[in-house]
Amino acid sequence: MPNYRISKEEELKVVGMHCATCVETVTKAILSVQGVKDASVNLTSGEAKIVIEDNKKLKNVIQAIRKAGYDIITQEFIMKLNINQDEIGKVKDIIENIDGVISVKVGMERVIVEINPLSVSPEVILDELNRKGYKANIETEKIAKKSEYKDFLVRLLVAVFTTLPLLFINNIVLQLVLSIPTQFYSGYPFHRGMIRAIRNRTTNMDVLVSLSSNTAWIYSLIQIFIGKEPFFLTSSSLITFILIGKLLEAFLKEKISEDVIKLTQVKARKIENGKEYEINSNELKVGDLVVVKTGDIIPADGVVESGEATVDESIYTGEALPTTKKKGDPVIGGS
């Protein structure tokens, strides 16, 4: 039995997994990081549970996952903090030693922190700094990596405006010129993804799209030189239609990110020693007992210990009617 007593457990929300191969790739990427003792990736929930020897290795884990072509939901926020040059290192050490912190940039007036919202909240970090004698307050909060949607939108617009004319233009030179932006600018994420997949000795959708579009484009180029009709419309159309799917995926990713952040900000009424008090939902631990009243959002996945109520789980199950929950029934956090 492995000894994890001196290790820490982290849970990450992975975005972009679609199949068993994706799970294998993400697991392999996580385990390749020095300091990771164990990793378990769930395709259905999109979550990766890892056992890591040092919280400071978390940044390396996320970098490895992103290098493999996937992404992690993170939260970034800015704190106002007036300190002198000598205190910068101390403040950075305090924040970096908090579980769930990914990266910290400390200045004399502002601190930029990136965190795993499933493990820690901005309020926890703020409280720790205040406890250490530093007066800080949160200036802004945002979800990291929100530019992906805009990036895909721009690439899709370029693809649409250069692909549509191919339906009507017969001039071969113009067809070639119009196909280049779509093939090499709009299709760049797929070509980059294929290179990453090859480096990781695996295959994914990017390999299929890049290989198919490049084959069609190169074949069309050869057709020009031998005096036959090219098929630039084929490669451009393929990239355009796949980009529509990628744009929708990026939009949903941002929405999921926002939902995850909102869920971690939900307050839980914890019962301990017969007393009830509020804590952040991401501070709950396995075995904690919480009270959920009428109209409340369930703060975490769990099992009903006592009582009976109807719960709206439509956001997860698609079931329009509320579900009756009684003792022993499982409940889903966020419902």
Q: What was the pLDDT predicted at 318?
A: 63
Q: What was the pLDDT predicted at 1?
A: 37
Task: Give the CATH number, domain containing residue 41.
Answer: 3.30.70.100
User: Are 54 and 91 contained in the same domain?
Assistant: no
Distance in angstroms (rounded) separating the CA atoms of residues 275 and 269: 10
In what side-by-side order are the strands of the sheet with 47-52? 36-42, 47-52, 8-15, 71-72
**Residue 243's pLDDT band (boundaries 50, 70, 90)?**
very high
Write out the residue range of the structural domain in which residue 296 sits: 267-331
Mean model confidence pLDDT for the chain: 82
Task: Give the CATH number, domain containing residue 286.
Answer: 2.70.150.10
User: Are 64 and 160 contained in the same domain?
Assistant: no
- Average pLDDT score over residue span 24-36: 89
Instruction: Provide the strand spans (E) within 199-307.
Output: 267-272, 275-280, 289-291, 302-303
User: Are 154 and 253 contained in the same domain?
Assistant: yes
Q: What was the pLDDT predicted at 176?
A: 93
**Residue 5's pLDDT band (boundaries 50, 70, 90)?**
very low
Non-local (6+) Cβ contacts of 335 within 8 A are: 297, 298, 311, 312, 313, 315, 316
Highest mean pLDDT among 233-237, 294-298, 319-323: 233-237
User: Are 318 and 242 contained in the same domain?
Assistant: no
Distance in angstroms (rounded) separating the CA atoms of residues 43 and 47: 7
Q: What was the pLDDT predicted at 262?
A: 65
Distance in angstroms (rounded) separating the CA atoms of residues 180 and 218: 11
The tally of domains found in the chain comes to: 4
Q: What was the pLDDT predicted at 174?
A: 93
**Residue 257's pLDDT band (boundaries 50, 70, 90)?**
low
Please work out, in degrees rounded to the nearest 5, the angle formed at the alpha carbon of residue 190 by the alpha carbons of 176 and 14: 160
Distance in angstroms (rounded) separating the CA atoms of residues 23 and 28: 8
Residue among 21, 132, 114, 32 at smallest CA distance from 75: 114
pTM over 0.85: no
Q: Does 144 score more than 50 pLDDT?
A: no
> Between these two residues, 226 and 297, which has the higher pLDDT value?
226
User: Are 190 and 126 contained in the same domain?
Assistant: no
pLDDT tens column, 88-121:
888 888 888 888 888 888 887 888 888 888 888 8
12 domain residue, yes or no: yes
Domain boundary among 84, 118, 143: 143
Torsion angle (degrees, nearest 10) of CA 160, 179, 195, 103 = -40
3 domain residue, yes or no: no
Q: Give the phi and the psi of residue 238 in degrees, each rounded to 5.
A: -60, -50
Distance of CA 144 to the CA centre of its chain: 9
Per-residue tokens: 212: 């198919």
Decide if 121 contacts 282 (C-beta within 8 A). Answer: yes
Domain boundary among 260, 277, 300: 260
